[in-house]
Structure 1
């Protein structure tokens, strides 16, 4: 075996080891976003694959199916803000002192109460077992709440023909403390949204429904 072949074998072994290390880091992270160990293992796997590909090309003019480029770990850490630091709750290296609160209001007109109740009842039936009686949806508010629950609280679940969107707004506010749900009664719909001392309104985004026959796009206006 020539030295060149030995180098190829060693380079391939590094790829295998790096792949195993990457998989182990991914399993340990269990879906955690921006995990530093996963990132470092990714860089190692990328660079080991690149090195093997280069050696294979130099030795035999062959390439692998891996279309990768070498990554400089230091430059990549600076670019993506990693740098090997611990960004977990016990070791954040750049904590922001304020909590960011995003609050949204969107209004709708109901062209047909009966149509809205029917679509909400269909959504309710799909979420309960077949042997249970879902019961009727008895009001417009209950119908809208049913659609939101079916969509896991996403406002996109209200993008239905039975609701005509009107103007809305979204605010971004810096607040000193996060929301404490236990501090408000379930019937209190205004308290959690009311401005409090120490809060700073960063900006407001006005939302206008887009109508196809309008010449001007009213996607929104930013008020800082």
Structure 2
């Protein structure tokens, strides 16, 4: 009986592990990973169920799912009143953090001088000391546009734009410990368009051929 118990414990641990991997894959929204994790979880559940029946005669409430997972047909999500999710990712290299913080501080102060409503006198008493805050101020100065990040202190890298049809709009009141949850799309979505943006990184060693000042 102890051998059966050991086998059951191992099989159960496999189910628990497979469940966690499956949940992580679902949260990632990466369809190939979800499909693989789904298969592993189904296989682990089936093995545990078989060993449980053999050792005790008891059964699990799970039934093996052998049907293949399919992505939803975009036609079922494309209709009048549909919700379209447009997600944009752009990566940047920060060659020098101190230079970025100083540039963001100057831009924030210039925004205030120009009549920016979101800057207060108290904000001008201290330099920006956090990269996240620096990016925030640069975006604020550009009214939320990524064009605000087009400064020498940030080198733009590759970017990606994804357009998806989603079953329901974003709800910012949802409380979840996973901070990136709003960017994770579930299974019931359809990709309408993907745009890859390849950008040549800035090279500080490359001199401008039109710069003939002798430098």
Q: TM-score, normalised by structure 2?
A: 0.49
Give the TM-score normalised by the residue count of structure 1: 0.47
Higher relative contact order (CA 8 A, sep 6+): 2
